[in-house]
């Protein structure tokens, strides 16, 4: 089933999820999960950006709640991720920022509220610093706070500790069983979001959708970035959602970054939650409520 714009509708009711593709570069289209009805109130749409090696599926819970509040939400798969095209190059923050600007233009969105988790937050900061997108607001969810170089002593340590685990030859059922066993508190939705990061081969084995070399290229680009140089470019109302995972040194680093961000972005609103890094999949209602509260008048 398709809508009037030719997008594929998942489900058949008004405001249901629909899938679209938008061109952002030569031979590169991005997949977009669109939630909500364009027939609703004329309010600023949300653009939701996922983390590294994740997909737009991770935003389903948040987007569903935003749509229930009569807000449009567009969750985008970055190049090389999810259902988007997978070119050989372009795995750096500047290119992802250009892709974001092209997608916003192709979707005809005016002054959207840009919301990013982890890598997605870095891409938003890069885009604002380089004036790629005219945003109406910004949301940073567990990302864009602490430089990679402040987390690890060397680039090599960063690449080693953040490398994608090998799943070569692993059956899907084994992956699902492993995730269930090691994360018994996960909801079905969070498990689905985790599995969405993998291709399922004809023999039912899995492979990362974002290949390890492309993942490494993104990590190298993030290592080179200096987030504090970009914070002053955020001239719009902003909300930062931060998790206290119980890791005292990491939480202390984020607390220190919060103080610097408050000085750089006077209109910022910072909200903390006891949770792990994936708060948008684990606590989607909480994240959505922070966004709806911060941008109720947009």
Query: What total of structural domains would you count in the chain?
Result: 2
On whether both 77 and 198 belong to a single domain, the answer is no
Q: What are phi and psi of 176, to 5 degrees?
A: -60, -40
Task: State the Cα–Cα distance between residues 194 and 165, nearest whole angstrom.
Answer: 13
Taking Cα atoms as reference points, which of 248, 294, 242 lies closest to residue 272? Answer: 242
On whether both 183 and 45 belong to a single domain, the answer is no
On whether both 195 and 119 belong to a single domain, the answer is no
Structural domain contains residue 156? no
Structural domain contains residue 160? no
For residue range 169-187, what is the model confidence (pLDDT) as tens digits?
999 999 999 999 999 999 9
Distance of CA 288 to the CA centre of its chain: 14
Q: Are the beta carbons of 125 and 148 closer than 8 angstroms?
A: no
Task: State the Cα–Cα distance between residues 53 and 208, nearest whole angstrom.
Answer: 8
On whether both 259 and 185 belong to a single domain, the answer is no
On whether both 66 and 170 belong to a single domain, the answer is no
On whether both 268 and 129 belong to a single domain, the answer is yes
Q: Show the domain range for 181.
A: 165-209
Task: State the Cα–Cα distance between residues 99 and 139, nearest whole angstrom.
Answer: 18
The token pair at 153 is 């002593």
pLDDT of amino acid 91: 98
Structural domain contains residue 198? yes
On whether both 183 and 126 belong to a single domain, the answer is no
On whether both 77 and 185 belong to a single domain, the answer is no
Which CATH number fits the domain that encloses residue 250?
3.40.50.1820
pLDDT of amino acid 286: 97
The token pair at 115 is 């919301």
Q: What is the CB neighbour count within 10 angstroms for residue 68?
A: 13
On whether both 175 and 145 belong to a single domain, the answer is no
For residue range 78-103, what is the model confidence (pLDDT) as tens digits?
999 999 999 999 999 999 999 999 99
- Write out the chain's pLDDT in tens, 298 residues: 334 344 443 443 334 689 999 999 999 999 999 999 775 667 899 999 999 999 999 999 999 999 999 999 999 999 999 999 999 999 999 999 999 999 999 999 999 999 999 999 999 999 999 999 999 999 999 999 999 999 899 999 999 999 999 998 999 999 999 999 999 999 999 999 999 999 999 999 999 999 999 999 999 999 999 999 999 999 999 999 999 999 999 999 999 999 999 999 988 999 999 999 999 999 999 999 999 999 998 9
Pairing of strands 28-35, 73-76: antiparallel
Residue 86 buriedness (CB in 10 A; 0-12 / 13-18 / 19+): middle
On whether both 170 and 281 belong to a single domain, the answer is no
Taking Cα atoms as reference points, which of 262, 241, 250, 282 lies closest to residue 138? Answer: 241
In this prediction the pTM is: 0.94
Average per-residue pLDDT for the chain: 92
Last residue of a domain, one of 209, 227, 245: 209
On whether both 180 and 50 belong to a single domain, the answer is no
On whether both 234 and 284 belong to a single domain, the answer is yes
Proportion of the chain in helix, strand, coil states, percent, rounded to 5? 40, 20, 40
For residue range 39-53, what is the model confidence (pLDDT) as tens digits?
566 789 999 999 999
């Amino acid at each position: 089933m398709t809508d009037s714009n030719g997008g594929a509708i998942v489900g058949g009711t008004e405001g249901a999820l629909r899938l679209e593709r938008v061109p952002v570069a030569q031979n590169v289209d991005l997949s977009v999960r669109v939630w909500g009805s364009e027939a609703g109130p004329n309010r600023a749409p949300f653009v939701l950006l996922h983390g590294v090696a994740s997909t737009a599926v991770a935003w389903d819970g948040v987007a569903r709640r935003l749509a229930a509040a009569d807000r449009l939400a567009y969750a985008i798969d970055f190049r090389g991720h999810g259902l988007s095209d997978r070119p050989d190059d372009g795995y750096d923050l500047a290119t992802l920022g250009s892709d974001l600007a092209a997608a916003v233009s192709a979707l005809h969105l005016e002054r959207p509220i840009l919301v990013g988790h982890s890598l997605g937050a870095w891409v938003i900061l890069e885009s604002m610093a380089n004036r790629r997108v005219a945003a109406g607001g910004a949301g940073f969810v567990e990302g864009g706070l602490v430089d990679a170089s402040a987390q690890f002593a060397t680039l090599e340590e960063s690449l080693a500790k953040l490398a994608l685990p090998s799943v070569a030859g692993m059956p899907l059922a084994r992956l699902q069983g492993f995730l269930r066993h090691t994360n018994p508190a996960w909801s079905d939705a969070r498990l689905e979001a985790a599995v969405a990061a993998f291709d399922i081969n004809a023999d039912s084995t899995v492979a990362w959708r974002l290949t390890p070399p492309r993942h490494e290229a993104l990590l190298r680009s993030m290592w080179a970035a200096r987030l504090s140089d970009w914070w002053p470019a955020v001239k719009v109302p902003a909300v930062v959602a931060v998790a206290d995972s119980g890791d005292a040194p990491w939480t202390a680093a984020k607390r220190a970054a919060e103080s610097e961000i408050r000085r750089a972005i006077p209109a910022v609103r910072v909200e903390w939650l006891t949770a792990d890094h994936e708060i948008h999949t684990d606590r989607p209602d909480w994240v959505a409520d922070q966004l709806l509260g911060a941008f109720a008048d947009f």
